[in-house]
Structure 1
């Protein structure tokens, strides 16, 4: 009987020990590679991915509907989370010395994090990670976070770019839902070697025309994804666009710092197209092209608390290139500072296009030494070979309220150049006060075929804006939107 009791006692003690050991193992968050069902997640090495730029959605606008709620805090801060699994790329083989190829470690971390809820890919501080052009694809489990606390960068220029890799894009996030890109670190684009390639002319020092980018890669691209958040990071010196969103819905961008030199060509800060329900908040952007550019197929976009410049300002367009249809609606820009920029608030369309730009509100904008503070250009063209055409993107419902500051006297601060056959309509001007940064007032504002109302006197006076509506009023439905 005593022997039986001893066996039972040993069994109980052993069972408790194994249970505690299992609980301890469950509290570890840093994991090395682990085997799993490949159907649970996907990465650049296993998932089918779109050919670069080949599967972009067609440039048509989605049917208009009331704005869905912009996502807010889709994932917790991984540094404060005890529930997610954190996959440190250094534990998976990343060297982080600025020269070794750390791509395999990042793809391994992505596979593991994609397969679990609240998974985190962590690039820790104190390292300079180099990875090649990579597609991080889904679908993944909810709450995925890609956290960059160190420095993450591509190969240094076209001579170092692997020949097999796409030159159109570097980091691609594809078919994801509920993902966050965040961190306290820097995404460094190593763009300088790309800016002087002999393909596209751009303005150089002292007004000279110098060479520009060929197939220079966009730094970060989100494609066909939803409920995204990007925040906190410093993103700089992109070879071309810093960040692009194509075919996405539900995007929250906040507290970013985006920067590249004033003369770096085509380095748009944030570009969106065929994307809706977007919030861009409390960010600093200075670069060689548009701070924020809004392409065809975008709707329900809110931009607030952004400081922009030096740059080319905030642009809608260009739209309607190659006689295409372009539909943009419900765009709000408020509480923004634009300084030392070639343009302020710009809408640019090509002749021969169709579609419409409607429901655009600019409010509480501070200008500091800006050319073309307010501009609508429906004769946008990159060469002298563009022909006059009768069709155009219909521009209607533009509101400019409390737009104040200073302009560069090289050109008038207000410029409405609307189509000969499709006038701009329903333009509202209220509390617009723009004074020369230096020198005296230049010529009066320019208007062509533009109709609207001045709720208050404008400085400088804008007597060229026509009252009421034209005899023939375009209907947006006639333009396919």
Structure 2
């Protein structure tokens, strides 16, 4: 009887195991062809894959494909993977995008999403950068970003490249437990407003073992961010890893738990930076910023807290920032500064920076004129280990 039961059970077990193997949906079977717009084919493949009761993989094979605009929406009934092996290209002319929401590829409300394959999302942004005058024109045209992830959970984006976006490369909003690993951002240093990843109103986001080359912030952190871990990331060219800018909106949410570790900045405008707007109504708090084991290679401004951030004179300096910055650790930062001011802490008069610990700083000036120095206001750090150059000597800092 036991043998008979076993013989009956084995086929059932084999069926269960086989049913969990991902089902493949190749866009070629949906009419997707190289050098043609694959929006319809990719949408159809997504619809079928998302409805699958078992894990599924959508394949964009090797080759070059065009994509006008795409929105992929969940929730899906099982884990889903978008495997991009080839290159997907956006229109050269951003006005060809039928939906004017300034996003090229949007993915919303998906749990257990994977994007992989070694392929490239090419935004073809070189012509669009010439049209970007947002620094001077408040009514400027909003150019489309490459990839927008909204309300994505328990997901991984790995071994793919976003290239030459017309605007930000990646937007991450309202997401939880999402990992970017072996992720590449590629754009020249002169590309305007092309932040590598902008992450806000999210929780437990990981950016690991990645390379970001762009014309703006490699990673920018917006309001409402909790638990962001950035590790083993190489940044440059770019403007560094920035918390902010924050404070321009009255209803912005607190930022807490930002960890930057084992990262390298090469020829960037900034290294690690926090920036808040003065004369603004926002009163959010920025707490728990941790920077450790970082290499600065000829960086203009290696370490910056700027609470008078006011680009292109778009604000007034009459009133200090009301944003409280506290609980910061900066440890083991080595390398070279391209400017004589290696460290600049410009904190708010109204709410000075508090509980700042600085340890083992070793930065030398790569230029030829003047000694390396630091600038500090409204901050009294606690020091651990050596400080080269001496930091905040004019701020009556504490030592331990």
Question: TM-score, normalised to structure 2's length?
Answer: 0.90
State whether residues 158 and 193 of structure 1, in contact with CA within 8 Å, keep that contact through their aligned partners in structure 2. no
State whether residues 213 and 265 of structure 1, in contact with CA within 8 Å, keep that contact through their aligned partners in structure 2. no
**Alpha-carbon distance in 2 for matches of 1:390, 1:350:** 8
Query: Aligned-pair distance for 1:322?
Result: 3.5
Q: Over aligned residue pairs, what C-alpha RMSD do you find?
A: 2.3
Aligned to 1:364: 293
Query: Aligned-pair distance for 1:201?
Result: 4.5
Distance 1:284 1:198, change over 3 A: closer
Aligned to 1:89: 27
Aligned to 1:446: 375
Aligned to 1:426: 355
After superposition, residues 270-285 of structure 1 pair within 5 angstroms as 270-285=197-212
Aligned to 2:246: 319
Aligned to 2:7: none
Distance 1:245 1:368, change over 3 A: same
Query: Aligned-pair distance for 1:150?
Result: 0.7
3-state SS of paired residue (1:190): coil
Structure with higher RCO (Cα < 8 A, 6+ apart): 1
Deviation per CA, 1:315-362: give whole Å up to 9, x if none: 000111144433111111110000100000000011232111111110
2:131 to 194, 197, 211: 197
Greater per-residue strand proportion = 2
Aligned to 2:43: 107
Confirm whether residue 224 of structure 1 aligns to residue 151 of structure 2.
Answer: yes
Query: Aligned-pair distance for 1:90?
Result: 1.0
- Unpaired runs of 5+ in structure 2? 1-13
**Alpha-carbon distance in 1 for matches of 2:362, 2:117:** 40
Deviation per CA, 1:217-257: give whole Å up to 9, x if none: 11001112211210001211111111110111111110011
**Alpha-carbon distance in 1 for matches of 2:320, 2:193:** 30
1:135 to 66, 71, 74: 71
**Alpha-carbon distance in 2 for matches of 1:332, 1:199:** 33
Aligned to 1:332: 259
1:153 to 61, 85, 89: 89
**Alpha-carbon distance in 2 for matches of 1:464, 1:175:** 51
**Alpha-carbon distance in 1 for matches of 2:33, 2:314:** 52
Aligned to 2:187: 260
Moved over 6 A (4+): none
- Unpaired runs of 5+ in structure 1? 1-22, 28-80, 203-209, 469-481
Question: TM-score, normalised to structure 1's length?
Answer: 0.75
Larger Rg: 1
Distance 1:276 1:366, change over 3 A: same
Confirm whether residue 119 of structure 1 aligns to residue 49 of structure 2.
Answer: no
Aligned to 1:8: none
Confirm whether residue 374 of structure 1 aligns to residue 303 of structure 2.
Answer: yes
